[in-house]
Amino acid sequence: MPVCNVCHNHCNLKEGMTGLCHGRICRDGEIVCANYGHITSIALDPIEKKPLNNFHPGSNILSVGSYGCNLRCPFCQNHSISYGFTSANTSVQVPYQIATPEKLVEIALSYSDKAASPQQGFSANNIGIAFTYNEPLIGYEFVRDTAMLSHENSLLNVVVSNGNVSKDVCREILPYIDAMNIDLKGFTDSYYEDILKGSRKMVMDFIEEAFTDCHMELTTLIVPGYNDSEKEIESLAKWVSTLSPEIPLHISRFFPRFNLTDRDATDVDLIYHLADVARSYLHYVYTGNC
């Protein structure tokens, strides 16, 4: 049986089976993208919402998402499109529309200052396309194809990802990506493996591979009892600084949601304190959800 090498799960799939991510399928003996062009979410967002604070601040970006994810974060805010399905081997029960790369670029252009006749008679200050909401890189082929066409039309491309994908996937998309926000969710293997069902090493390898070739910012959601110690954030920030102290880090506040409602929202003072800890190593540290 073919093995999928997109991420740490290495799903071994029989013909017609989809992987744990719900976004890849074995078809004619080959593992391919199952959610190519399947769009569940689309919105014009401020770039700061990605979050990207140091990349074209004050602009907007067309944000698009599909379905599926290769992690199992119990607090996922997009669980209904990420993995709220009954089984990895049943059809996806989530509404979506089909959009080609050409169609998405057309929409993005219509909201940019490059449009001959901007939507509603004005430019919405759209700079490009952001692949976000679910985990976009389980369908890296669609990201690659759309981003390539977007660049041909002088638009910018952003990826918002958990970074839990292989270096090969990273290299496949990187020539066409201008900025990324990667969730570096914590800095212990136990948190990644036991709670998130992911691989910290794979995320760190991805960040190391990508940060020199595009603008990169990182986000860490502080979940009480899991990754909220000063020691862990210090270790995380110190490692990031070895790559570059110029990489922005967003320290964000957790709110109870989905399957993790047994704890309170993160204390605001703790977020501010951990941000100060990180500032000992990094030049740009932002607080989120406070």
Rounded Cα–Cα distance for residues 130 and 108 (Å): 10
With respect to residue 94, please indicate whether it lies within any of the assigned structural domains: yes
Residue-wise pLDDT tens digits, 217-232 = 999 999 999 999 999 9
Residue-wise pLDDT tens digits, 8-50 = 999 999 999 999 999 999 999 999 999 999 999 999 999 999 9
With respect to residue 217, please indicate whether it lies within any of the assigned structural domains: yes
With a pLDDT cut of 70, the percent of the chain lying above it is 93
With a pLDDT cut of 90, the percent of the chain lying above it is 88
With respect to residue 159, please indicate whether it lies within any of the assigned structural domains: yes
Number of independent structural domains in the chain:
1
> C-alpha 201: how far from its chain's center?
17
Give the mean model confidence (pLDDT) for residues 52-57: 98
Question: Domain holding 171: CATH number?
Answer: 3.20.20.70
Rounded Cα–Cα distance for residues 94 and 80 (Å): 8
Tokens 């919405």, residue located:
124
With respect to residue 2, please indicate whether it lies within any of the assigned structural domains: no
Q: How confident is the model at residue 83 (pLDDT cuts 50, 70, 90)?
A: confident
Strand order in the sheet with 249-253: 41-46, 60-65, 126-131, 156-161, 179-183, 215-222, 249-253, 285-288
Residue-wise pLDDT tens digits, 165-195 = 999 999 999 999 999 999 999 999 999 999 9
With respect to residue 1, please indicate whether it lies within any of the assigned structural domains: no
With respect to residue 182, please indicate whether it lies within any of the assigned structural domains: yes
With respect to residue 15, please indicate whether it lies within any of the assigned structural domains: no
Give the mean model confidence (pLDDT) for residues 234-246: 98
Q: How confident is the model at residue 69 (pLDDT cuts 50, 70, 90)?
A: very high
Q: Which residues pair with 179 in a beta bridge?
A: 158, 215
pLDDT on residue 57: 97
Residue-wise pLDDT tens digits, 133-144 = 999 999 999 999
With respect to residue 251, please indicate whether it lies within any of the assigned structural domains: yes
pLDDT reading at 118 higher than 70:
no
Which residues form the domain of 197?
24-288
- In 3D, which of 110, 119, 94, 118 has the Cα closest to residue 38? 94
Q: Cβ(38)–Cβ(98) under 8 Å?
A: yes
pLDDT on residue 195: 97
